Amino acid sequence: MKFDPESSLARLRKVALGSAILFSLGGAILGLPYFLGVVGGGTVALVNFDALERLVRRLTAERPGPLSFIGVFGLLFRYILLCLVLFVIISVWHANVVALAVGFSAPVVAVFVECGLYAYRELTEER
């Protein structure tokens, strides 16, 4: 079976967004701090997932010479910004930390779903 990374990435995005929305609805049932935590964690995780995807595309693209200092600084800046956003979500919004972790795990659920689909297709494919 041939692996298509573009369709897999599109599926990962859809499942991650769907699981973030589903987790947010569950958090809304438990109250506002849980809802804010799940929404904040899911938003940060999905934005981080997209940024990592762009970074991998840039790193694997054909280019002359080594990676520039600005590219490395951009990666460092992104992680500093990620820490700052998480700090604001926890300290200003007073979001529940467990709910934040649940929202932050939305891309993880998408990766497990994608691995399961790939394994299912491999097992059911005729040889």
Give me 86's structure tokens.
């998480």
> For position 127, what pLDDT does the model report?
59
Question: 125, 1 in Cβ contact below 8 A?
Answer: yes
> For position 115, what pLDDT does the model report?
92
Inform me whether the pLDDT recorded for 34 exceeds 70: yes
Inform me whether the pLDDT recorded for 8 exceeds 80: yes
> For position 111, what pLDDT does the model report?
92
CA distance 77 to 85: 12
**pLDDT, averaged across the chain:** 86
> For position 91, what pLDDT does the model report?
87
Lookup result for tokens 């991650």: 16
Reported as a single tens digit per residue, the pLDDT across 65-98 is 676 677 677 778 888 998 998 888 888 878 888 9
Give exposure, 17-48, as e/b (b: 16+ Cβ within 10 Å).
bebbeebbeebeeeeebbbbbbbbbbbbbbeb
Q: 56 or 9, which is more confident?
A: 9
DSSP per position, 39-107: HHHHHHHHHHHHHHHHHHHHHHS--SSSPPHHHHHHHHHHHHHHHHHHHHHHHTS---HHHHHHHHTHH
